[in-house]
Amino acid sequence: MKKIIETEKAPKALGPYSQGIVKDNFCFVSMELGIDPKTNKLDNSSIENETKQALSNVENILMKAGFTMDDVVKVTLYIRDLSLFTKINDEYAKFFKKDAPARALVVQAAMPLDANVAVDAVAVKDGISTEEINYVNR
């Protein structure tokens, strides 16, 4: 059975989707923009602020679900302008100080609200350890 995650510490969904879903030992966080949940406005005062807010939204959804950023195993980072990647990556690194998750980077022409950056994530905890998996026979 899946559990819907909703928190006021992240912006409400802009469409027919959930902020997050927990299923078994996984938490799936929907694409989060740099929307400040207090004002419901995109914080695009700087790319650093927009990135920090998007990642804070992901973190707050995870916390509501009982997960942390340390539980994140996969992130997809969406950006509009590759020339901003270094600044975005520097802010991203502050959220994943050790054992960074796997990550995909998608450069796309447009995003909702003309956002410059967005993030989604998958987190897992208390799963099967890698020592229990028989890689040879798979």
pLDDT score for 14? 78
Does this model's pTM top 0.85? My answer is yes
The correct CATH number of 2-125 out of 2.40.50.100, 3.30.1950.10, 3.30.1330.40, 1.10.3860.10 is: 3.30.1330.40
Contact between residue 122 and residue 26 where contact means Cβ atoms under 8 Å apart: yes
Q: How many Cα atoms occupy the beta-carbon half-sphere of 45 within 13 Å?
A: 7
Strands (E), 2-137: 2-5, 20-23, 26-33, 35-36, 41-42, 72-79, 102-107, 117-124
| Tens of pLDDT, residues 27-80 | 999 999 999 999 999 999 999 999 999 999 999 999 999 999 999 999 999 999
User: What is the gyration radius of the CA atoms in the chain, in angstroms?
Assistant: 15
| Tens of pLDDT, residues 72-93 | 999 999 999 999 999 999 999 9
